[in-house]
Structure 1
């Protein structure tokens, strides 16, 4: 059984988050995944806004097959002379690319140098047992999305990625800590216990006094929710559950 927090695809099978906010179709959910995957794979695979729109009409397996094909050179690199000093052979990328192009044969169709390491990395991460598959933890995807937005919004401050959270600091600003989690928040009964534990711990240690718990915005969860904790009644603090919109992914495309 697939871990419920993983989204992506395994061959023709797609594992997409359930409909929420304005992501109310398979195409839009595919577009969401392609956009969010950029934040994880960006050093060797980036889907442009045009590609996100175009490829959302096809299954994710086809989208990544297209991307791999598009990144490969139009003509294969061949070594005419083994003593050619201008060509620096890369055995790792050569093996990976050949296994993808010709998985059932031992002969090499393709000889690569280090310039093709990005495409080799993409193949290695989403080509398993001769099948295309890419499954990513949705909490990581949301965390990276929020981190990117915060860095863009607070260019005058220091933004630090703490793994389970993000902090914003500056000389004139005491600091703000943000815990991120991809959950479908119900306003009347929000499931925020895990993130709240970390927030309480930080406040008790005196590290931060202003903490946000960031979750994807949905049709019900549209406004900030102040959170009050009995064991912190003697502390000066502020905790809020914050709806973080992903709609810009659609609007910017």
Structure 2
């Protein structure tokens, strides 16, 4: 995995994909992963279904997002003029959508219904200076993925997004804090200094005594790694580096 790439996605001409981890060993699977992970960031504006993720990943990410925008623009919500009061005109959507439509078809003008606000927001997110681009911080993508999974697994507990971490709290159990980071872990010489420092500080301040450091799972990092810290030898604590699988993204459902 190329750790020099902090953002993944695409611009007008090029795709930026993290490679060489877990079972994502082809461009198709890597695109499928990005479309899935982007749902957690772009909701409720955009959601790629499982079917769309599998099929749109066979082509470029650029084409996938253009497809999604066009799909969200049913012309039943577009009018060449407003001829009745039941049409809920949205001025902001009208400006954004007309600019998008006129990129290829000149001299067109439509007024837009308020139901097209999500499509307008997606266009606004994807286009910068009339060039299409979707680049998202990989650490944010992974954090949101873990948060989504943790909430589904622990519906009976209080799961809180702390921005740099996730906490899980419930009565009669030890509270758990999870720090997330998308990096390739060297199991022989752990490259987790920043995350470990955060865990140590958290335990010293008696906020949590159980801390997990979550990273994407890949072939060289498949098992939990308990971490012993000399300066915490007089405290009751648990720190583990956790490989977090992304394989559910490419399972057929």
Tell me which interval the TM-score lies in, with the shorter structure as reference length: over 0.9
Show the counterpart of 2:72.
71
Match of 1:58 in 2: 59
2:143 maps to 1:152: no
Measured on the aligned residues, the alpha-carbon RMSD in Å equals 1.6
TM-score, normalised by the number of residues in structure 2 = 0.94
1:233 alignment partner in structure 2: 233
Residue 22 of structure 1 is matched in structure 2 by 23
SS at match of 1:207: coil
Residues 196-215 of structure 1: per-residue CA shift (max 9 Å, x gap): 11111110110000000000
- Determine whether 1:180 maps to 2:165: no
Aligned 8 A contact 1:93 1:114 in 2: yes
Structure 1 residue 230: deviation in Å?
Answer: 1.4
Cα drift, residue 252 of structure 1: 3.5
Deviations 1:102-142 (A, max 9, x none): 14899552211321110011000011111110000000000
Specify every segment of 5 or more residues in structure 2 that has no aligned partner in the other structure, as ranges.
none
> How many residues of Structure 1 are paired with residues of Structure 2 in the alignment?
249
- Write the mapping of 1:206-245 to structure 2, written as runs, cut at 5 A: 206-245=206-245
TM-score by length of 1: 0.94
Q: Determine if contact 1:12/1:59 at 8 Å carries over to the other structure.
A: no
1:141 alignment counterpart: 141
Instruction: State the alpha-carbon separation in 2 of the partners of residues 30 and 69 from structure 1.
Output: 19
Encode CA deviations 1:160-217: one digit per residue, 9 max, x unaligned. 0000100000122231000000011111012111111111111011000000000000
Which residue, 79, 82, 93 being the options, matches 1:80? 82
Determine the C-alpha separation between the residues in 2 that align with 1:100 and 1:203: 51
